[in-house]
Chain A
């Protein structure tokens, strides 16, 4: 039994490693999506996961994954596990959490920040970490940037796109901006998250309440 458990754990670790190697670049470290679709919803547009991973999806960027059939099966199981609800008990009061959300989170997360619906599927620990250390893992497509333009103004926001001649930003008020680099004095990328840390601003009880509320936002 113990041996079986060890083997099982090893396989799960292996599947996680496979996922990191083969999938995370497009689908995100926790399946949150990015270049590829969000895998935490439990809904798979192309049907059977094994076939999708084995053969890829024609006409899209999803390639056939180069792995053995066994590995593909394990990958499919792992992908399914990304959508499982985190069942660990959370003691917080969702109503209190809702009030905290409205006071601290909604203004940004409903304009420039990532939509938090479904974020709790990634687990309470992840949400707690994101509240306390928001710069530790930046959701794909939400890298912050600060641009100084020639007239002295500074524009802060999310970098939506960039090339050698221009940069596109959603600023902190949610406005879409496109700036030609010829008019830019400096681009500051040193602070990759717009979100401030709530360490010292929210206590454990408040964070538990927020997590309880976010679970209801699925």
Chain B
């Protein structure tokens, strides 16, 4: 009887058609950001400011990894699917954390990730899970068994200075959109769309225009061939416009623009692509000719609202470069930008959103220590959150003093003894009080800050708002917290005592609202008694 019940549960768990992705149920977490709009919002309201102080550890999953544990689990009908570094997939019982099946993809010994052998999660569609790998494969698994259905090579991972793919894929109707990394290694960026059934590549969009393509010629000489502009995080999707939105990384070399004069399109940009063809609908470049490694690889947040008297489809974007942007997501029109952390590099923006840059902020060979925001930025890859209940955008911002050192560009190579990218990234010890983090509630339509909750260190965690009126996140010291979504007051915390390098999710199990977040190498799931 029990076996039959389990079998039914597993069978039921494996069916996530596109229609469910269009309108994800509150009790499940069916994609990286929770919905196509990139909200990382839980519509569950069982946890509230009144009862959140009773939140306790329900179960833990021990990942046993030295790598940063950056995954966002998916939860579908009682089963949790998550990745563990490097590229291992686990199906767990979401009520107990007990393992149901595992899948291991073994990468070659050398992979060419910039910042750890990490993976940020999966996509699910119908009965399939999709994972991209550090050696540039895209893999489809049977969600019921973990059996490999197909595996395709996206690109030669050893080309140029080395390619990798650490971000979570985005599943659409019948297809999977996948990005790649390598902005520190002199690659040539792209975003791919694959047939979910067969693994056949349907389209590729080059994030650096090639000869003959529109907007070719914004890179001096041959620098376009090795310009980076990767797509290493995940994206968002507007089904009505059928547009995929994705952020792009820095141009290469990161801190030396001498050999790549020009705007360096489409680096540090958001691109809007037709989901069926991969054709460019529009782009907006946040940081032309970036010299500070200010990737625009944040998750796009899609909101609708009344802007200057007109109902519009909008895109809200707290960027690594220190500015909060509001764009029209149908046209790409720049509406406004407003800094949300200390910034030293922009004097003003013109009507098209092009920044007038203040001289003196360039990296120098000895290190420029007077540039704000710092090298890891005001925002990075961690998720922002939008709550339709409060109509506020929540971001976990970084106020940080760092050093920008102009490096010597070298030819990109994967030779074993080669140094590429940023070989001399000096990190002097500034006093700890010169840097901190803050959860911010921002009115997306005005950029006005409603409240701030300061924390000790610049964070590497994202945040998640809930319909119950809470905002969850975690700090670098391992403090997992719940804030009041309307005031920013901390209502509950748990000492995890290790770094949080991910963003929370919430789901229902046995009628109760649970919360999961990786802390150190442990995925902790919390719930009320």
Contacts and interface: CB of A to CB of B under 8 A. Distances in A.
A21 B425 contact: yes
A164 B482 CA distance: 13
B420 interface: yes
Interface stretch (A67-75, A82-90, A101-109, A194-202): A67-75
Interface residues of A, number: 25
Interface string B410-426: 00000001111101111
Interface in A34-87: 58-61, 66-72
Nearest to B421: A66
A25 interface: yes
A60 B431 CA distance: 26
Contact of A162 (B417, B418, B425, B477): B477
A20 B426 contact: yes
A163 B423 contact: no
B180 interface: no
B427 interface: yes
B493 A165 contact: yes
A67 B419 contact: yes
B222 interface: no
Interface string B367-387: 000000000000000000000
B423 A67 contact: yes
B425 A164 contact: no
A99 interface: no
Contacts of A59: 66
Interface of chain A, main secondary structure: loop
A71 B455 CA distance: 39
A154 interface: no
Nearest to B110: A64
Contacts of A25: 427, 429
A192 interface: yes
Nearest to B424: A21
A150 interface: no
A18 B477 contact: no
A189 interface: yes
Contacts of B423: 21, 66-67, 71
A17 interface: yes
A163 B424 contact: no
A43 to B, nearest CB: 24
Contact of A163 (B431, B432, B433, B478): B478
Nearest to B475: A164
Contacts of A164: 455-456, 475, 477, 479, 481, 490, 493
Interface string B288-330: 0000000000000000000000000000000000000000000
Interface in B358-417: 405, 417
B57 interface: no
A163 B426 contact: no
B357 interface: no
Given A163-B456, A163-B479, A164-B475, A69 B417 contact: yes
Interface in B427-468: 427, 429, 431-433, 455-456
Interface of B: 66, 405, 417-421, 423-427, 429, 431-433, 455-456, 475, 477-479, 481, 490, 493, 495
